[in-house]
């Protein structure tokens, strides 16, 4: 599925809820389906800086698509990274690099977006895009 389509689906899903509590509950549920990182990657090297909770992300290139896996010690962060991974995983690097992230605002998580927020949503996006950039550079050089 295209990134844009997944984002639209997410916006539709979140639109079903009336208030933030239901949206948070849904996000927490999405966190439960997060493709979990192998515990051997739960190290300093895979930690995303700038989050108050610990969030680890690991990426792999399979058939030119990036597969992301992650985990967090906080439930809300786990939900947030799960949403991002649903959007960005299994995509080609260039699409990830180009992707717009305005959908976060639309699903009512705007308050998590500010780069000054201790929760690190913007750091997570940056990290996923950095992986994509690294793999794209590698592909270009091959």
Partner 1 sequence: MKNNTNINVEEIRKDFPILKRKVNGQNLIYFDNAATSQTPKVVIDSIVSYYSNYNSNIHRGVHALSQEATDAYEGSRVKFQKHFNAKNSFEIIFTSGTTHSINLVANGFKKILKRDDEIIVSQLEHHSNIVPWQMLCEETGAKIKVIPIDHNGELIFSEFEKLLNAKTKVVFVNHISNALGVINPIKKIITKAHEYNAAVLIDGAQATPHMKIDVSELDVDFYVTSTHKICGPTGVGVLYGKEEWLNKIPPFLGGGEMIDKVTFEKSTYAGLPNKFEAGTPNISGVIASGVAIDYLNGIGLDNINEYEKDLLDYATSKLLEIKDLKIYGVSEEKTAVISFNVGQIHPYDIGSIVDKLGIATRTGHHCAQPIMDYFKIPGTIRISFSFYNTKEEIDIFIKALNKAILMLS
Phi, psi of 88, deg, nearest 5: -100, -20
Q: Is the dihedral of CA 128, 133, 138, 140 positive or negative?
A: positive
Q: Is 43 in the site for partner 1 (CB under 8 A)?
A: no
Catalytic residue among 27, 34, 37, 51: 51
Residue closer to partner 1 (CB basis): 93 or 108: 108
Between CA 59 and CA 65, with CA 13 as vertex, the angle to 5 degrees is: 20
Residue 9 CA to residue 76 CA, distance in Å, equals 20
Binding to partner 1 by CB under 8 A, coded x per residue (else -) over 62-81, reads -----------xxxxx----
Among 52, 64, 114, 137, binds partner 1 (CB under 8 A): 52
Strands 55-62, 65-72: pairing is antiparallel
Catalytic: 51? yes
For partner 1, the binding residues (CB under 8 A) are 20-21, 24-25, 28, 52-54, 73-77, 118-119
- Where in the sequence numbering do the catalytic residues fall? 51
């Amino acid at each position: 599925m295209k990134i844009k389509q997944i984002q639209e689906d997410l916006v539709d899903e979140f639109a079903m809820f009336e208030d933030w509590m239901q949206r948070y509950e849904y996000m927490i549920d999405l966190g439960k389906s997060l493709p979990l990182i192998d515990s051997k990657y739960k190290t300093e090297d895979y930690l995303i800086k700038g989050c108050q909770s610990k969030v680890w992300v690991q990426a792999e290139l399979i058939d030119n698509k990036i597969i992301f896996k992650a985990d967090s010690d906080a439930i809300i962060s786990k939900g947030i990274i799960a949403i991002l991974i649903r959007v960005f995983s299994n995509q080609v690097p260039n699409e990830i690099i180009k992707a717009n992230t305005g959908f976060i605002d639309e699903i009512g998580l705007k308050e998590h977006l500010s780069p000054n927020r201790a929760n690190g949503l913007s750091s997570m996006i940056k990290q996923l895009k950095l992986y994509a950039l690294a793999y794209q550079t590698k592909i270009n050089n091959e």
